[in-house]
Chains A and B, each alone.
Chain A
């Protein structure tokens, strides 16, 4: 169900991972995710902070923000403006479907160093992270 969601443009016979976000065929992902995800996730509205915060304890939210800054930060940069991994600032994520971003976090991006976080995070936590990223919560968090 997971593999084969992401296709990459190829050049010179080699998979190119530069500009990954641009290379992903987003409509395909949205289609797949719409099928793969339960309607619960989509209809709940991931960008709705009240929903997102309501399901995750305040302490866990702090842990997730810390994870985002320190551990996601080892590839995406402490300030999330990118490194080996793509930049994850609100401006970089604007317009990307929430469900697809949750999918990337949970399943990783095969062929790149982005690992699947499903072994460490619950789906609702990934959804909360997407909300936190899109609304710039890490910038408000104290290190």
Chain B
């Protein structure tokens, strides 16, 4: 009796010890089965090969690759709240769920002909995808990717289905998004999952091309391609409707050609102001939230694509559209001056800071490389090979509204 219970205990303990020892020794990160947390993990989209690189930012290495995700041009990712699973939104309408620890594809559904992005709900149980074709939003169960709701983006004026852009999650189990062709903002409230409610705001302006939600979930802003201005919805006062902000920021001047649409999702709130890429102008706009007054504009190298704040808000890093996309500029927030400029290589597509901002990861598509920089010394810390990398997404996004 005694002997057998001792055996049982030994059998239980030994494997645990073995695993712990393996970790203590060499941190065997190459093994997908090793026990580890997920807080320093991330995904790099390899857009042309339909694959993802799983990275970790502590030792700055690639842990492995997940393949078979289809057309990943313009793909983006959100994470489950435990940081273990990533949901990837591919251009070909594919919604994929991947396991970052096991480094494998869990499930993939092709849910439309052509999609552009997605979001995960406040409680982490719903994943929404915005589609170009057929235009609308589909909402899925985050566990098994079963369809929960289909929301065709039927324009209010009866002109048909609209492409959907700028999809973000908002507090109160809401998803908010913009109708590109129709010029509308819609809010879908899923607090009662089986009977979701839809609130529509028509006539917000011409051609909303992307949207952002502030990190406190207070404001949703849609950029308008067809106008010199942006559309803003105060989610604490939705009864006030959508208002125009920064009206006429282009001062009616002729726009410069835009060879790539700016992204607002990487919007930057730093200190008391927000930094936004202008459209058709080689400028970053500096805006005071609340009053929505323009407090400055910073001339930059080209058409800005992403203007991303370092998490402490002291710096804003900017990349640019084709053909000036080999350059990154760093704006010092207190002085609103460019304090650093460098050329990582051709086609810098995305930048992502580590959660506390000591490193920034930069994808250099044409060099097939992801570079890691120190954000104080601006020194390159390392480079990792990646196949035509585009978006870089770290699991810290799991805990942030709007990401």
Contacts and interface: CB of A to CB of B under 8 A. Distances in A.
Interface of A: 11-12, 14-18, 69-71, 73-75, 77-79, 81-84, 108, 111-113, 115-117, 119-120, 143
Contacts of B160: 18
A18 to B, nearest CB: 4
Given A77-B73, A81-B92, A84-B116, 15 more contacts: A11-B157, A11-B159, A18-B163, A70-B388, A74-B322, A75-B261, A77-B91, A78-B47, A79-B71, A81-B114, A82-B132, A111-B226, A113-B207, A113-B258, A120-B259
B257 A78 contact: no
B388 A73 contact: no
Contacts of A79: 71, 73, 91-92
Contacts of B347: 70
Nearest to A74: B260
Nearest 8 A/B pairs, CB to CB:
A78-B73, A115-B257, A12-B157, A143-B48, A18-B181, A71-B322, A74-B260, A11-B159
A73 B72 CA distance: 11
Interface string B205-226: 0110100000000000000011
Contact of B261 (A70, A82, A108, A113): A113
**Which secondary structure dominates where chain A touches chain B?**
loop
A16 B162 CA distance: 10
Interface string B73-84: 110000000000
Contacts of A77: 71, 73, 91, 114
B111 interface: no
Interface residues of B, number: 39
B38 interface: no
Contacts of B225: 113
Contact of B388 (A14, A16, A143): A143
Nearest to B115: A83
Contacts of B103: none
Contact of B73 (A74, A113, A115, A119): A74
A12 B159 CA distance: 8
B159 A116 contact: no
B133 A82 contact: yes
Contacts of B388: 70, 143
